[in-house]
Chain A
Amino acid sequence: MKLVLSLSILISFSLYAQTPDCDQEDNLSKIAKGITYPNCNTPSNVQAFKGRDKSKLCGDCKTDFELVNGKISENKNHVQEEFLHSALNEYKKNITNNLLNSIKMKVLYSTGVKFEKSIQSCKMQTAADFAKSCKSPAAIKLLSQTSFFSDLSKELSNDVAKFLTSDPTFNPKPTLLQRSEQKCSIPEKDVLLMSASSYEEALNEKLIEAIKKFDPKKFKTVSDMFSSDEFLDNYEGDIAELKDSLYNHPLFASHLSSPDKFVSFFKSVPSPANVDNLRKALYSKSNGETFDTELAKSCETSSKVLKDTICSDDFEAGNLFVDPANNFDKLKISMDRPSEETLASTEKLIDSNIKLLELCENVNSNNKKNLSLINSQIGVALTENQKALNLDLFKTEKYNSELGSLTSSLCGMTDATCLAGSISCSIFKKLQDSKKKGTAAAKLAESSNSEVNALLRSMIGDTSKLDAKTKDILIAQGIIPKDNGEVVAQAEVERKPESLPLSNNQQPQNGATLAKAAPSTISNSASTGRNPASSNNTFTDEGYSNANTASSSNTLPDFSDLMDDQQELRGIQDEIKRRLLGMPENRPANLNDAKKIARDSFKSRGRRISPEEETAFANRMMERPEAPVPQTAASTFQNTPANSDNRAAVSGGESANSKWRKGQDQAALMGMAGAQSALSKDSANAPAATDNKPKDMTKVALNIADDPQVTLSDMFNKKIDQNDPETQLLKVLLRNKNNFLLQIKSMNFKIVFDGNNFNLLLESGDRQEAARIRPQLEMFLKKLKR
């Protein structure tokens, strides 16, 4: 019996032993593969070890490799180098985040805060700053070998210039953000501006009042709150869109860190919680100070952790744990890893593995500086997802999340596909509307944001090695001073929401001008950069210094359309006035200057003007941005490819006049009839106003179609609506009371001003026909003059 029992037990054991293991074959093949190819440095291997016990890569795999290739010791220098490389990249990521938030502040209303803390804490650090009182000679040596800091300064400057320019052809290198190609071009500042405004307006009164009543303790995260029934019942839009939007708003972001903070902020919004009151709370001084404090904290913490780490005794001693499996993507070796195919049984395999395994620690890592931890502390302002990305990927993703995806979406959007109620549709509409009205926006456009400029200046640091074009943009924006130390002056206006209440059609901005006219025929004016209403609903933009060559044959847009950036423009305008009228460069063009310009200009032509005339002339120069003088300038800028030469004059270019002439020549070559005439008067606008000789007058040809079905009045009204280039030129001439010649069909009229009124005189052509069209024509011109 015992025998049978034993036998049965034995049989069952043997049967158990034979039970097939469904995964056995796989495991065996994996082991076999590992023995045949002891390659730890494959993406799949590194990926497989990611997040697991750190001993796996530096233990099991390393042991397998050492069995074949001999012992690999930890390489202190290599570890230090990789550690520093990764930590510096994380530092750059954090700076990118800080810069972007600061740039956004430039286009928003003012909070009245001077950013004193941030200016101090976010000041550009150099290698020398880090090396100062640094205990680690190894760190000092490594820092001296890297161009990280000089590159960083350049990247920051280029990014600021790229954000603020309207020139789509301006793509400076290197930059912090990796921009992908877009289907159309919309100035980045416009996207930032319009989106921030739309985000604010997305929060309706009903929702804000509801949030005020929320009990924050009910929610673990802000996302939980957003997806709660209480929230959803009060918000008709898409909460994903709303949340993303609020995260992208620099003054909201800090309130999204916890439900408590979120609710607290909304409780500070006065009732009724409409958008105006929301903006009061958002742009309040205390909220501005919160922004300043957090930005300063981010800058300070980031650089302090970096410095404390690399200058520590631990760094010097090599007590560093780079955790190669988890940080692989952030290491230098990851960038030059050969492909898996190349690696098989070659020397590269051995080298590559040695390089990786040299980073493995041999002793307990608890007392070492842990790269993962340090990186997380350096990237203090980054989200967990952003922290996980290596620098290259971060640069792409950050661009896409802040600008790229939205721009792409706006490029493809039409009135038909614009989904009412969505935030992106609201941004789209704002971009469309921005060209129509601009009164309040214009004030903001020309206003100074000296506080943010000071912050940006502090962040940029050394500007001695900047490219000319970048430098010019930053100078014109008042961010960095000219070579002589002078900062381009910008008008000071109260940049508060209550003093500049904007409708949905009017946006706050600084450093950006909302174009006034939006002729659908203009495809190459700066205005179209923010004008999706062009015939194919795509955005094109040339703005600041466009090299527009393709479609500018008959384009002479309104002056304000030509230059997106009023601040930039003002600097250029000043220089143009000086150059045209013989003023010394780099001298402020205020009212007194303008009077002197007028006086000198006339004097040089052997004429004298009365003090009244002098004042009138000066006022005209100072008060009318669309005056023909700057228009001439703008035309030149618009049509001068890569005209950094012209802009160089802003900072005191030496051959300004010759370049100016060159610009005119180019404009003439573009075949701009009206522009050519206007340009031909570059000997100043003042004489044009007093000298009525026909040969000096601008000639405008007005195209009127012969259509018996359409009345003359309708035809003229259509012209006004279309606001085509000729109409725009007429507007400029009429509003500046310039005498000019007008050709309609075979008739030539002369428009001569007498004070505020003009006389319409027939110079040549069919008298009867002229008499017939005169009433409508006069009406048309009067409308344009208004």
Chain B
Amino acid sequence: MRFAFLGFIIMFSLVVHAQEADCETETEKELKPMIEVAAVAVDATEEPACPNPKKLRGLCMYVGSKEKDTQMNSRKYVWGYQRRLFEAACVDINKDSDAVIASKVQKAWNENEAMLKCKSTQFDITDGSILKYAVNMKFEEFLIDAVRWKIELNKVDQADGATVLDYIKMQIERNKGLPSEPYLKSYYDMLKKAGAKHKSEL
């Protein structure tokens, strides 16, 4: 009888645990990234080389060429820029959760924003932000990642005195009636939804 009762208790607690694991409470959801970010901060103090700005030097090239990652041995890298950015941000692709990755990338991004400007003969702004470059190259995946990593979307570029949303709007006007217009509009909507603003709204 005692065994039966014990078995019942164990089963019950397992069930309860299973429920908890699948559906987090709102508080837990809110706290989780903070806890993870705190963990990152601890990690960061242990690794002084992070973020590593040197790794960011070729980032524009990978965005411009839309190259896929050539080292297919990891489960998460699809694009070359992801590897480059993750290496710069010291992301451990096998251990870090999405929230941790986002916070690490944000940190690397914010600390090295000056390096995340692109020059290219295929880019109509010299030294414009890499976000604008991605828009120019119609690299949607990079923009999706930027939104996912909660990258600051409202920086005003010195080069053109505009935010990325201003830039897209200008591009939409320039490409009115052309096949690229719908793509640009979708970027506009996506970034606006993610909190991007026009300079006039800041």
Evaluate whether A12 and B58 lie within 8 angstroms (CB atoms) in the complex, with A5-B4, A240-B118 already known: no
Q: Which residues of B contact A223 (CB under 8 A)?
A: 58, 61-62, 65, 67, 80
Q: Of residues 1 to 19 in B, which have CB atoms within 8 Å of A's CB atoms? A: 1, 4-5, 7-8, 11-12, 14-15, 18-19
In the complex, A390 Cα to B180 Cα: how many Å? Answer: 11
A21 and B62 alpha carbons, distance in the complex (Å) = 39
A: interface residue count bin: 35 or more
The answer on a CB contact under 8 Å between B11 and A244 is no
Q: Which of A1-51 contact B (CB under 8 A)?
A: 1, 4-5, 8-9, 11-12, 15-16, 19-20, 22
Residues in B whose Cβ lies below 8 Å from that of A241: 60, 118-121
Asked whether, in the complex, the Cβ of A423 is within 8 Å of the Cβ of B121, the reply is yes
CB within 8 Å for A244 and B66 given contacts A8-B11, A12-B15, A19-B19: no
Q: Which residues of A are found within 8 Å of B192, using beta-carbon distances?
A: none
Contacts of B174 in A (CB 8 A): 180-181
Give me 10 other A-B pairs in contact (C-beta within 8 A), A8-B8, A239-B58 excluded.
A19-B15, A22-B23, A227-B57, A227-B61, A238-B120, A240-B60, A240-B120, A396-B178, A409-B123, A419-B126
Taking Cβ atoms with an 8 Å cutoff, the residues of A that contact B are 1, 4-5, 8-9, 11-12, 15-16, 19-20, 22, 178, 180-181, 195, 220-221, 223-224, 226-227, 229, 232, 237-241, 243-245, 248, 385, 390, 392-393, 395-397, 400-401, 404-406, 408-409, 412-413, 417-419, 422-425, 427
Task: Please give me the residue from chain A that is nearest to B63 by CB atom.
Answer: A240
Chain B hits for A418, CB < 8 A: 126
A195-B121, A221-B67, A423-B119 are contacts. A413–B126 as well, Cβ < 8 Å? yes
Q: Is B27 an interface residue (CB 8 A)?
A: no
Say if the beta carbon of B112 comes within 8 Å of chain A: no
**What A residues does B121 contact at CB under 8 A?**
195, 241, 244-245, 248, 405-406, 409, 423-424, 427
Contact A424 B126 (CB under 8 A): yes
Contacts of B123 in A (CB 8 A): 405, 409
**Smallest CB separation, B189 vs chain A (Å):** 14
Name the interface residues of B116-158: CB closer than 8 Å to any CB of A.
Answer: 118-127, 136, 138
What per-residue 1/0 map shows which CB atoms of B42-78 lie under 8 Å from chain A? 0000000000001001101111111100110000000
Q: Which 9 A-B pairs have the closest CB atoms?
A: A227-B58, A240-B60, A408-B124, A8-B8, A240-B61, A392-B179, A238-B119, A241-B119, A12-B11
Q: In the bound complex, what is the Cα–Cα distance between A584 and B61 (angstroms)?
A: 58
User: In which size bucket is the chain B interface?
Assistant: 35 or more
Distance of A696 Cα from B139 Cα, bound (Å): 66
Q: Is the CB of B23 within 8 A of A401?
A: no
Query: From residue B24, how far is it (CB to closest CB) to chain A in Å?
Result: 9
Known pairs A9-B11, A417-B126, A424-B126; A390 contacts B120 (CB<8 A): no
Q: Is the interface of A mostly helix, strand, loop or mixed?
A: helix
Q: How far is the CB of B192 from chain A (nearest CB, A)?
A: 19
Q: Which residues of A contact B67 (CB under 8 A)?
A: 221, 223
Q: Which of A8, A20, A419 contacts B7 (CB 8 A)?
A: A8
- A239 in contact with B122 given A180-B174, A180-B178, A220-B71 (CB within 8 Å): no
Residue of A nearest to B67 (CB): A223
Q: B16 — nearest CB in chain A belongs to which residue?
A: A15
- Cβ-defined contact, A244 with B5, below 8 A: no
Cβ–Cβ < 8 Å partners of A405 in chain B: 120-124, 136
* B8 with A4: CB separation less than 8 A: yes
Question: Would you give the shortest CB distance from A151 to chain B, in whole angstroms?
Answer: 18
